[in-house]
Structure 1
């Protein structure tokens, strides 16, 4: 896992293994406050600060598709889901 996330908290690449993707998504989701609304631009800005491979849209989509975020399709407002 250390090869995926630097000591500075930067995700270096999108992992091929599903188990590693779960760890990366959990790490990234922890960068957001649960229950707070985020505009898409805010989500992008936070994700840009926490990865080094230039694909924040992939990360945003994966956070949503994995159930870690909810997204209002009319307003593009995101909200982190509380971990179960």
Structure 2
């Protein structure tokens, strides 16, 4: 299994915006036991998976970050893979 790179909170938006379609970001909450996976499709849109069956699609980073904060709060760990 590939090892991910821990992302600093201050670099999360920049890291997500620079994702290639074969890369992703995993965000895990510290207290809520929630995980979010963020990928970029070949068309350039961001695909956000919450849980096993919830998927959201966005054209820019700002709504991705708003959804992530809503779902996991401010205490989280983020990894790029």
Larger fraction in strand: 2
Larger fraction in helix: 1
Which is greater in Rg?
1
**TM-score over 0.5 (shorter chain):** no
Class of the TM-score when normalised by the shorter of the 2 chains: 0.3 to 0.5
